[in-house]
Amino acid sequence: MTKTTETQEQLEPTIEIEKSVLGALMLGEESELPLWTQAIRPEMYSTEIHKQAAMAIDEILGAKELPDMITVIDRLKSWGVASASTEVIAIASSASTIANLGHHSRILVERYQKRTAQAELRSLLSAIDRKQVCDIREDLELVSERLRPLVEVSTISLLRDEVRDVYKELVRSEGNERRKNIRTGIDNLDRKVFLEPGEQTILAGRPSMGKTALACNIARNVAGQGRGVVAFFSLEMSKQSLVRRLLSSEAKISNWKLAEAAKDGRLTEPANRLYGLDLWLDDRPGMTVSAMKAALAKFDKVALVIVDYLGLIKTGNEERHDLRIGAITKASKEMAKRTNCHVLMLSQLNRSLEKRSPPIPQLSDLRDSGNIEEDADNVILLYRPGYYSDDADPEETQARVAKQRNGPTGAVRLRWKRESQTFGDW
């Protein structure tokens, strides 16, 4: 049996399903189309005449008319499709009821998805075959990302359905609209900032402001709440360094005294508390957002993703820096929505802010701030007055909420314990 014959035999059941769907649509019955039928696009059909007939039906429905055999033939002939009459008559005769339209539409969509997925995989395998083994890791990580859109159906919904669901959720929450929010474990910050699932927060500051320390504190606190996995992608610091920071903060012991504390048993309890947390660490350098998505795919429920930091994330090609940052922030926001988690992305601030007196950070101090501001739901800027002035309290830190899509802006005062790398309420 030749490859061409096999392909034709595989297509025959698909062609019959497509004729059944198109034929049912040409019965001219006035009824709401099933969800799966609404998900079909003309390019999902396997033959050219079926695609053309689908386009004609779409145009007729778009004009608020009911398609039938005659109107479809007329539309195709106006487009110069010579074989319209014979083909459309054959299609129209393949259905006598719309009873199976939804079921057949689902099969049509799934077979299109399967064909397209096979083509995507063949393309990826062909590309991998031409590369060295050390160069294929990112291609493999992209496989699931490339295939995921192929298996999705439109999620468009009617307003009344969404109003009903939101209203029920509000009733269940007993007046606490922030029940779903991620809580950082720092009360002052939680009263000011709403970290909602599906959204993205940028935590930015100059070096030595405590960005990574605050991120570690938040990661530890959220991981202890039982809301789901916390994933910490560290593109700058090793896993071992992160664990030392977490141990230092948990035990309230200086990082340089951890060895001594381990010997005399003071680290046993703190280490046991960290041991039970659902906190995952990944310290691969130069990761892409696609690689992060692939890593998260193993988890059923993700509460929080922390990335340290934005400037070290790689993209698939070498492009202008501002475009690269924009691509990263858009991709990470999409990751938050798809995973229904919150993404906390660390970022640097421009050095130019230190020319101001006092050097209080502003949104415009974000590197490539336009792209970051556009995609971020929240932006928090860290500022420690004591870093710049001996007259200021060395423990005072200001978490300045410069942007919040669903809440107020303003400064929150935190207390910074430098030795244990710990933030708390002022």
**Dist CA 69 CA 85 (whole Å):** 9
Q: Are 100 and 94 in contact (CB under 8 A)?
A: no
Asked if residue 415 and residue 319 are part of one domain, the reply reads yes
Q: What is the pLDDT of residue 5?
A: 42
pLDDT of residue 173: 60
pLDDT band at 3 (very low <50, low <70, confident <90, very high): very low
In a domain, 188, yes or no: yes
Position 163 in a domain:
no
User: pLDDT class for 4, splitting at 50, 70, 90?
Assistant: very low
The pLDDT of residue 158 is 67
Q: Residues 6 or more apart from 346 whose CB is under 8 A from it? A: 202, 203, 204, 211, 212, 215, 306, 307, 308, 309, 310
Q: Mean of the pLDDT values across residues 135-151?
A: 60
Quick one: pLDDT band at residue 103, thresholds 50, 70, 90? confident
Per residue in 404-420, pLDDT tens? 988 899 999 999 998 88
| 358 cis-preceded (ω within 30 degrees of 0) | yes
pLDDT tens by residue, 237-295: 889 899 999 999 999 999 889 889 889 999 899 899 998 899 999 998 888 888 888 88
Stretch (H or E) spanning 78: helix 69-78
- With a CB cutoff of 8 Å and minimum separation 6, the contacts of 103 are 36
pLDDT tens, position by position, 79-94: 888 778 888 998 988 8
What CA–CA distance (Å, rounded) separates 263 from 52?
A: 77
d(CA 115, CA 10): 11
Q: CA 368, CA 350: separation in Å to the nearest integer?
A: 9
Judged by DSSP in three states, 419 sits in coil
Query: Is 44 within a domain?
Result: yes
The chain-wide mean pLDDT, for the chain, equals 84
Question: Vertex 235, ends 300 and 217: CA angle to 5°?
Answer: 65
Residues 131 and 18 in one domain: yes
Q: Measured in whole angstroms, how far is the alpha carbon of residue 307 from the centre of its chain?
A: 13
Same domain, 143 and 247: no
The pLDDT assigned to 404 comes to 94
Task: Looking at the structure, tell me whether residues 137 and 195 fall in a common domain.
Answer: no
* CATH classification at residue 3: 1.10.860.10
Residues 217 and 152 in one domain: no
Please tell me the least confidently modeled range out of 105-114, 276-285, 367-376.
Answer: 367-376
Total number of domains in the chain:
2
Q: Report whether 252 contacts 422 (CB < 8 A).
A: yes
Q: Which domain range does residue 235 map to?
A: 182-425
> Which of 55-64, 230-239, 278-287, 361-370 has the weakest average pLDDT?
361-370
User: What pLDDT, in 10s, does the model give residues 175-225?
Assistant: 454 556 889 999 999 999 989 999 999 999 999 899 999 999 999 999 999
Does residue 6 carry a pLDDT above 50? no
The answer to whether position 161 is within a domain reads no
User: Is position 356 within any domain?
Assistant: yes
Domain shared by 212 and 339, yes or no: yes
Q: Which two tokens stand for residue 231?
A: 């994933």
Percent of the chain at pLDDT > 90 equals 39
Distance CA 294, CA 145 (A): 7
Instruction: Look at 147 and 409; give whichever has higher pLDDT.
Output: 409
Q: What distance in Å separates the CA atoms of residue 17 and residue 111, rounded to the nearest whole number? A: 10
pLDDT score for 371:
74
The whole-number pLDDT of residue 319 equals 61
Query: Are 291 and 226 within one domain?
Result: yes
For the segment 309-329, the average pLDDT, to the nearest whole number, is 78
Domain assignment of residue 164, yes or no:
no
To the nearest 5 percent, what fractions of the chain are helix, strand and coil?
50, 15, 30
Q: Read off the pLDDT band of 73 (50, 70, 90).
A: very high
137 and 193 inside one domain: no
For the chain, state the CA radius of gyration. 28
Length of the chain: 426
Tell me if 173 is assigned to some domain.
no
pLDDT at 1: 37
CATH (domain of 249): 3.40.50.300
pLDDT tier at 347, thresholds 50, 70, 90:
very high
Residue 130 pLDDT more than 90? no
